[in-house]
Chains A and B, each alone.
Chain A
Amino acid sequence: MNINSSVLLSKYIKAYTLKMVSKAKASHVGGGLSISDILAVLYNNILYFDSQKPLLESRDRFILSKGHCCAALYATLALKNFFTLRDLNSFAQFGSNFMSHASHKVKGVEFSTGSLGHGLPYAVGKAVAAKSRNKKWEVFVLLSDGELNEGSNWEATLFASHHNLNNLTIIVDYNKLQSLTTVEKTIKIEPLKDKFEAFGCYVSEVNGHDHEELKKSLSKKNKKNSPKVIIAHTVKGKGVSFMENRVEWHYKSPDKDQLEMALNEIGVSL
């Protein structure tokens, strides 16, 4: 499939995410929908890659730290021709590489994740490697908001800032809902922008579903000699009215009728 518009790409990412999760009776569709616009902009407009050479040395590195939302990443990679859309049918099936947490055994996936708080330290290691070898490629890592409860993220942010890793972009999918309830009721993370700024990062806040805002902030030159943080305000379950902002869609998978309704709302038929 050849899609050159990030908006159209994001619709297909959402549609395939819904279809994969529904077929596999898997979880985490809500978080997958909240990151679909971010993934679409990254893979359509920002990241440098060659889908036929997934390990191309000069590629930008993208790490999905919130590995439970991998269906959206797998869909993105298929839509960008790392493998076929038919391959997505094996998602979470016996013997498949497409496990329901991000797997490095899938072409284009840099790093297996699933336990939260692992992606950022790994991304920092890659950013150090690039600096140490004077490479121009950059590192992007996508974290969830609930994931920020993990202390390893703050260890990594301290380090990245201290070592002026301005080749690192941290994106926070801030959909305000975590596993059991809201972020606010679980462990408050506000004032989030101030926190990252206090750690020495160059921080911006965007609407994580506005492609122009995302493009602008992701491509904006890092004004500080420090990691860039983009706090992307998002909606869990974005694009499907009966899933939006509802914590149960962290777990539930849409049945056949719900899938049809959801695809209608997204405006894509598969």
Chain B
Amino acid sequence: MRNYFIDLLTKEAKSNNKIMLMVGDLGFSVVENFKEKYPKQFINAGVAEQNMTGMAAGLASEKFHVFTYSIANFNTFRCSEQIRNDIDYHNYNVTVVSVGGGLSYGALGYSHHAIQDYALMRSFPNMTIYAPGTMSEITNCMKQIFRSKSPAYLRLGKTLPKNLKKLNKSNDQAPGKWTKILECKNRESRKCILTTGAVIDDAVKMQKKEEFSNYHIYSLPIWGMKYKTLQAQQINKWDEIVTLEDHLEDGGFGSYILECNSNIQTAGETKIKLKSLNKNVCNTVGDQDNLKEHFKFAH
């Protein structure tokens, strides 16, 4: 995912000299091509995420579109106040790019588990979360990000879905809009699994089980506080929704959907169930697949 992201950014930088890529001393074997082609648009800020994020705000105030790139929690939680005050409050054009969403770096331990990031980033009023789960979703997210002039959070997982061919490759991913990923056999079914981020494979596995064979798969890759009012209408189309995210339940994507459905004026009869990571994942070592299996994620 990260290589595809950097390819798209490199292409964009060719025609847009306002793009500035800042890395927190990370990105080995990923960022070199960008750096070589556009050295004036590349800054290694060192291992100093607070300064990197504050500088990004300063650069954005001078009309640069800045991308701050790091792993997991380093460019989100470490510098959360810089994101809150310097970027989001001023509504600056900075995209925080975190690689290793969810348990992508599972074996590296808790410091590298990005499993509370939605909770943080969705608490900022101007922030749009981009959590792509497929190649086409990354393409669309990047199109939207290049077009946008406001703060963004791009959460990249490590891997792309294995069964890409079967999946719907929509080019129509407007912020706040759900996209059909995979229909179930019963086209008339009014049940769906709604994902965000790099959990499409998990949703496909779920659908193969009898319990969920009657559920379509949809994703919502672009969301945030600004798009809450768009959700009720989409939620109300369904009898049942199961949200799926590689994040803890509290403050996560499922919580967001529940909040969207809690407005008295628009709340419907839809039954919403949440599937997320077990909090005990915090104390366990293992790679992403092992951890998901051990804690029965998406079961």
Contact = CB atoms under 8 A, between A and B. Distances in A.
A binds B: yes
Chain A interface main SS type: helix
A158 B46 contact: yes
A121 interface: yes
Contacts of A122: 54-55, 57-58, 61, 86
A128 B45 CA distance: 12
Given A118-B82, A152-B51, A112 B58 contact: no
Interface of B: 40, 43, 45-46, 48, 50-62, 64, 81-82, 85-86, 89-90
A64 interface: no
Nearest to A125: B58
Contacts of A158: 46, 48
A151 to B, nearest CB: 7
A126 B82 contact: no
Contacts of B50: 117, 121, 151-152, 155
B61 A114 contact: no
Interface residues of A, number: 28
The list of the 9 closest CB pairs from A to B, nearest first, reads A125-B58, A121-B54, A125-B55, A129-B62, A155-B51, A155-B48, A122-B58, A152-B50, A126-B58
Contacts of A114: 85
A115 B81 CA distance: 9
Contact of A124 (B40, B46, B51): B51
Interface in A157-189: 158-159
B82 A121 contact: yes
Contact of A123 (B45, B48, B52, B58): B58
Interface string A90-110: 000000000000001000001
A13 interface: no
A130 B56 CA distance: 14
A132 B85 CA distance: 25
A112 B52 CA distance: 18
B40 to A, nearest CB: 6
